[in-house]
Structure formats: structure tokens, C-alpha cells
Chain A
């Protein structure tokens, strides 16, 4: 009972509030002197402020996206190296943490969780395949993790995702497709038959291009959906109406070589105009046996694979840094063809993350700083062409979290692609479908 009457331990030890305050003041003073006198402490203090910015790179190292993933990783490493050489972000170096998602939406969600709760990254970046983005995005939003995809899917701008998901480095497929329609209608023909894989990517092309060509006074005569399990396509070609002026194809996957060679056998020399998306042939050598039929046909390109005479110094610099030669192949291995129409998106997205972190004064992986980062990205409106944006100028809609850039149309000549048209950004604009800024952070 006597012990209970003892006021407190501090006073029994002879330490009053006043002496405690004096002690604390003295300690603070000593620490202040110490920071000037003791070099070791100074180094420690600097280390606290120069901790790396951790960027989680969700990579398709295995699975169907591996060819794209390999080049996404090379591009990312090049950009990270350059940013770090130039002083990093807010004076802090980038630490890139790579996790393979196996191009699988379930694994993608797991990888996001791992980035957020184990690696404690500042942002997640770099996902390409739409189904992985869709599988991962809910977890990113729940974990309040800024998530920058480089997917070209319309998922971000369509409004089905959440405020934490951005696509500021590559134009989405809706914009790409509708920007093609004016040139196709004017130069190739207005009666179009579309051949596309029977899944979401193909359906996007079907829906967006049918509408866009109709707006140009054209018509989609026939829509031929091909199940992704098909290995032979011959039976689909008789469905192409004889009055077709343009075949629009976007066959992605290992069947593309068979598709092209069977189409060649079907038509011989007497064929309609043919227009396709290079997605089918990213990482594929145009001189591959079986692709001879593509001579004289046209392709959408996001960024011209073959260096054009009019290529900008930014394009040349980008090629050098990533290790791509003038033919769009690896400098070390000419057989290793890049995914040139897409991978620039990784580079540009990293510079946007840098710019937004610097604008928002991002300092730590707290919810408040992440909210500031998101608002800083949403405040962006334009990315000028330059070393940071070698593919070209882009506009950015902070409400839809989507950027819009120039697109290219190229013709196959002597097994290489030569640019014949560059679209304006306005060609690919459409009415916004969402305002993510109304969602809470």
C-alpha cells in the first residue's frame, strides 16, 4: 500500500519534469552539434533522405506475354539507369524490383500484394496484358497502390478500374483504332472485312473500328471472329465477301504465321488491300518464311520499328539506350526482334512517375504521399516530345487517366516497314467515359 502512495517512479529517482526538460534540451543540443561534428551521423541523416524510390515492375517473364515482357524489361532497365545517372527522383535513386506474374491474372494480383505488403514499393508499373491488369487492378486499388500499366487496353479509360490505375505512357486501343479509320477509308477502301481473334482484344477492334469506318462513310461488310484455339484458318476465308476492298486483321499469337500464309494461298496475287495491327507481328521478323504475302500490305505501328530517314534524335537516343538497331532488332542479336510499337510506353511512363513525384514532393510510401502523387498525375495535361517522350507528343486526360498520342501507318516493302502516314492526336480522341477524380483516395 505504501508503494501506491509513491507519486511516480521519476520523482523517486530524483528526476523532476524540469530536470527532464533540461536533459532533453541538452540532448537535442548535443545532437545538433553532433550533426555538424560527427561525420558518421551526417552520413546516416543523408541516408535517410536518399533511400531509394522503390518501383515494383510487374513483368511478364513467363507465359504468353514473355516476348513482350523481355523487351519491356530491357526498356525499363535502360530508363531506370538513365534516371539514376541523372540524379534519380527527388535526389533519390530508383530501385527496380521485378516480379514475374506469369501473364496470369491471379498471379498478377498476388504480385501486387507482394509489392505492397512485402517489398513496400512506392508504385507498381509496367503491366502489359489486359487480363493481368484487370486481375491486378482491384488489389492495387484496395491496397492504395498507384499502378501504372503500359497495356494499350481500353480498360483504364472505359472506367471499369479505379482511381489508382493509370495509363499515361501509351495510347489505348480505342484511340489507336479510330485514328486509323480516316486514312484507311481514304486510301485503301471503304468496304472492310474484319478478321479478329474471338476474345476481348479482338472484340475491341471489331467494335471500335466498325463504328469508326462507318463514321467515314464506310462499312464493315463481314466480321469474322476466330476462336483462339484454331490452328488453321482456311475455312474462314470463303466468308470474306467478294466486294471487300480492305481486309482488316489483328490475329495475335503463334497462329499468325499460318494465318498469313493460308491467306496468301487463298488469294494468290489477286487480293484486296490488307491492313493489320503490328501486335500480330511484334517480336516477329518480317522476313520470316511464310510472311512473303505481307508485301505491299499495311500495318498500324505505335512507334516505327525500322528507323526512318526522318527519325528524330529522340528515337535514335532511345534505340541506343535500349539496345535496338535501326531494323528494330537487338544490337546483340539481330534475330531478337523488339516489340517496338509498345515498349516505349515503359520508358515514358517512368519519366511521368518521376515528374509527378517531383511535382508532388513525394517523400515516402504513405497514403498521403501516394494521394499527392495521384493528384499530381491527374493534373498533367501534356507530355512534349523529347528524350523523355521519344515516341512523340501526347496529351493526357487526368479524369480518364489515359494519354493520347500520334500513331503510324506503314507499308511492308522488301520485308521491312516504311512509314506512309502519321496520324494527328486529334484523329484518336473520343468522348471521355469516366471521371476517376470523383472517386475518393
Chain B
């Protein structure tokens, strides 16, 4: 028996409670499957919307001057595996039609007298027009096209030792707000962590109330704080597993790298997990049935994550009231922070604000829910 070890009784209770929680989780095959597989499926589903269709996209060119420089750029574009030429346009009036009739995914507009301008003034303009109603594709295409153009620029520089500058401007049609593909990974991370920590923790605690076992536990010498800790630990571990799989998938499958410090990214996520756990705890203190816990965490935690965190809709475009409301959504700060740490590769100093806000939320929520956790039945 374990008790031969000289452990304090609290520790024995805690370990045995955590073991019991794992039994619950592991024996509920369907739930554990959903919890572990759902993040994978979400990442892959959204991920493939980004990674497919990037090859052989049709482009249409509007090139009034048709000079050496423009034809060289067009040739390089077409030679890349990403694009194939669908034709030339006569006037900029035809641009809209291209997209309406789905003739091409991208329109490249060269300024008049392109080569001449480039040679004489060292400056020339290209406009890349994409259909951003599918923002993920639009952004990838834009990135590829501007990559080809800057490559040409590089070549030109090497040939002539003169710094030529081609300014490529983009115009995004139909979705000026523009969400990038990379936005998606932070969003999914925020959603999954919130779902597992908050929803599952609240359900796990409320289930004991519903089956009446909470009564027995309250009447036992076990301290309420231990009950809470042992409920939180398994879901903390599960969340960490999910965090790892999500990160691995985004790096190795989607090719979204961790541009910044992995250490700070993980630490930042752990703070967010604490916020979610304490939210779940709070929900469990105000609900009596599992269904109610699920509905409340679904409606008050998940919906805002989807709608107000900037994952689906850009916050800047929301009405003022919703913008203001989004400030109290933990996921908003988490997603913003992950974007900076993971995608943009900024240092930890750039997310100090997010860190502070999430940390503050965690402290407040944990205090409130510990206060609200009842030592008795009412």
C-alpha cells in the first residue's frame, strides 16, 4: 500500500483524488477521444484550407507598357510553380469581371511606363489584386507574388549595382479587414484550451454535485481546496498535451513556425490555462447540473472566444460596444499575445501588457471562485 511512504495525509488524499479523476476521464472513452482528437481535426481542417490550392493559380496581367522589365517579371511569375498565365487585360475596367467570372485568382497591374520609370527614377509601381473573400488564399498568393517580385528586384540590383525599388501595393477586394492564415493557429489554440479547461473542469465538478458524491466529500475531512486542485490537475495536464499537439501540428503540418521564443510562448499559454481553469471553477460554483454547466460555459465562454476574440472577425471592425466588450474576453488577449510571440516572432517585452492582463484575470478569478466554492450545500 502507498501509505507506507511517509507522506502527509493531505498529499495522500490529493494523489488518490487525482488518480480517481483520471479514472473518470480515461473510462469515458468518447469524451477522451473528443478531447484529444478534436484539436488535431480542427487544426488539420482549417490548415488544409490554407495549404491546398496554392499551386497553378491563374493570374491575369494588366500591362500597358509591355516592356523588358514587365515581361521578365511575368515570365518569372509563370515559371514559378504557383502561377499560370490566363491572359492579358486591356483596361482596368475589366479587373472586376475577372473575379466575378472566376477567370483568375490574382490580377497583377503594372504602372504605365514601368521599365522607363524604373531605370530613370529607380522607382516603379506594381499592384497585386486578390479576391480576399477567401482571405487565407489571398494572402498566400500575395506572399508568393511579392516574393517573386522582390527576387527580381534582387537580381536587378546585382546586375546594375543600383538600388531599384519596386513598390508593390496590394488591393484586397471584398474583405478589406483581412485575416491572415496565421491568425488561425492562435485562434484554435485559444479555443481548445478554453474548451478543455473551462468546460470540462466545470462539468467535472458539477457532476459530483449531481450524483450526490459532493455531499459525501464535503462531509469528509478532505479540504475543499484539495478537491478543487485535484479537479484542475488532470485537465491542466490534458490541456498541456493539447497545447503540445497543436504546436507540433502547426509547425510540422501547417508550416507555421514558432518565430519567437518557445519558452515564453509556453509560459504565456500556461497563464491562459490558469485563467480558463478558474473560469471553469467559477461556472461550477454557480451551477447545479451538468447541462447547465455545459450551457453556461458554452454560451458565456465559447461564443465570445469565437466571436469577440478577433479569431473570426477583426476587432477593429466591430462596433465600439463590442470592441469594449472584447477587452474582458481572456482569449482576445491570449490570441493577440500568441500572434506576437509565435507568428511575428516578437520578444517577450512586446506582450507584457497581455501577460499582465491575463495574470490579473487569473488571480481575480481564482480568488473569486475559491471564495464562492461552498463548504456546505447552500
Answer yes or no: do A and B interact.
no
Measured CB to CB, the residues of B under 8 A from A are none
List residues of chain A with CB under 8 Å of any chain B CB. none
